[in-house]
Amino acid sequence: MSMSTTDVVRYRGRFAPSPTGPLHLGSLTTALASYLDAQYNQGQWLLRLEDIDPPREVDGAADSIIKCLASHGLQSNIATIWQHNNWQRYRDTCQQLISAGQAFYCECPRRQQDELGRCTSGCYKKNLGARNNNLRAALPLTDLNFIDRVYGLVETPKRTFDNAIIWRRDDLPAYLLAVVVDDVDSKVTDIVRGDDLLHETQRQLALYALLEQRPPRFAHIPVVLNEEGKKLSKQTGATGLDNTQALENLQRAIQHLGLELGAQLPSDNPQSLIARAIQHWRLPEPRLQKGQSIIN
């Protein structure tokens, strides 16, 4: 399905995994939440492979993610987006910001950046070139509190300045840039993702403002934790899902989301389980306190 600028989109959601390993229960739970929210709202849902960081990527992970989602009944009728195809769009956006005086090159090594990764040595005044330097956007800081559909009012820290990297010195686009450009280009209206990304939202909103784009709605759902209370991830020992156990995996994801499906006969395939979950969909409760201000 093509997405032309004349499309009026009421609801378009997305799942945007980085192909750094196979899907595990945590990522399945996020994928399912975004899918159910889109279906419940009679919206569209798309899959975007965030393959912009080759050093972190694992061979075959992208294909395994696509196959795993399909085995679990999570498929889209919109063509899958691969970020590696969008390099030029990211470069053009950087150029646009540089021309408008809204981005500058920075030579500071990491040890010279502050705890938020900002440049504090005035590189914006130095007129540096691209070679071996990071490109930073001068982000506007006006009123970036936002209403999250799960967390309610999220109060973001007041800052005197912010400048985040949008293009890396190793010549790769930064997540901040790619995620915003693609969500804008794909006309994503609703982002449902893990609450480990809650703290990224302020900078993303600032970039929407800089690009004069309307931001989507956000719903950050509590990520699945392991036994030690850490986010389930490859680094914390999460194992890839077994596609032959799709029904059981979905049942566990549904349980994590706290969904009650009512007393009907048990579903015997992923599609019918998902159809029931759509009927009973509601966003989960937040894990952190509502209105809590986010660190970072």
Residue 65 interacting with ligand GLU (CB under 6 A):
no
CB of 242 to ligand GLU, least distance (A): 21
Is 180 in contact with 212 (CB distance < 8 Å)?
no
Please identify, using beta-carbon distances, which residue of 162 and 195 lies nearer to ligand GLU: 195
Angle between helices 270-279 and 246-256 (to 10 degrees): 20
Residue 203 interacting with ligand GLU (CB under 6 A):
no
Q: What are phi and psi of 146, to 5 degrees?
A: -145, 160
Residue 50 interacting with ligand GLU (CB under 6 A):
yes
DSSP state of 160: S
CB of 158 to ligand GLU, least distance (A): 24
CB of 293 to ligand GLU, least distance (A): 21
Among the listed residues 193, 203, 220, 256, the single contact to ligand GLU using CB under 6 A: 193
Please identify, using beta-carbon distances, which residue of 82 and 124 lies nearer to ligand GLU: 82
Shortest CA distance to 32 belongs to which of 289, 290, 261, 264?
261
What one-character-per-residue DSSP string does 228-277 give?
TSPBPSTTTTPPPP-GGGHHHHHHHHHHHTT----SSPPPSSHHHHHHHH
Residue 17 interacting with ligand GLU (CB under 6 A):
yes
Among the listed residues 11, 12, 13, 18, the single contact to ligand GLU using CB under 6 A: 18
Please identify, using beta-carbon distances, which residue of 11 and 104 lies nearer to ligand GLU: 11
Max intra-chain CA distance, the chain: 68
* One-letter identity of residue 113: Q
Shortest CA distance to 145 belongs to which of 89, 66, 198?
198
CB of 68 to ligand GLU, least distance (A): 14
Residues 166-185 that bind ligand GLU (CB under 6 A): 179
Residues that bind ligand GLU (CB under 6 A): 16-18, 50, 179, 193, 197
